[in-house]
Amino acid sequence: MRCSYALFLQNLYSFNNNALYINGRQATKQQLVPMIADARQQLQGQLSMAVDRKIWGYAERCAESLGDLQKNNRALCLMKDVAYEIADRTPTKG
């Protein structure tokens, strides 16, 4: 399984150095939103699994990664965009 958080960090560092290109064009902040949403959902799932299995060290690392992801998300001013992205992915009942 690939680590969405590591992929996001790699792309974030490239973005910060103006070296991230998507489809032949320089990437914008908005193109990072799906990557952040993937990473957040994966980390939250791993944290939940670790707590259920009582693997406290792993749960702590997942929580630290989530905190770091939130810090990066806040610095990019994409909090609302990521929330909308996750809401769009969530299936509704009805």
The number of distinct structural domains making up the chain is 1
Q: Which amino acid is at 92?
A: T
Task: State how far the alpha carbon of 7 is from the alpha carbons of 2, 26, 92, 94, in Å.
Answer: 8, 17, 28, 35
- In this structure, is residue 32 part of a structural domain? yes
- Give domain status of residue 61, yes or no: yes
- C-alpha 68, offset from chain centre: 10
Beta strands in the chain (DSSP E): 21-22, 25-26
Taking only the tens place, the pLDDT of each residue in 53-68 is 999 999 999 999 999 9
> Is the residue at 92 inside a domain?
no
Given the DSSP bridges, would you call strands 21-22 and 25-26 parallel, antiparallel or unpaired? antiparallel
Model pTM greater than 0.85? yes
Is 21 inside any structural domain?
A: yes
Q: Is residue 94 part of a domain?
A: no
CA-nearest of 29, 18, 8, 19 to 75 is: 29
Note whether residue 27 is domain-resident.
yes
Instruction: Tell how far CA 1 is from the center of its chain.
Output: 15
Decide if 33 is inside a domain: yes
Structural domain includes residue 9: yes
50 lies in which domain range? 4-87
pLDDT in tens, the chain (94 residues): 789 999 999 999 999 999 999 999 999 999 999 999 999 999 999 999 999 999 999 999 999 999 999 999 999 999 999 999 999 988 886 6
Residue 22 is classified by DSSP as E
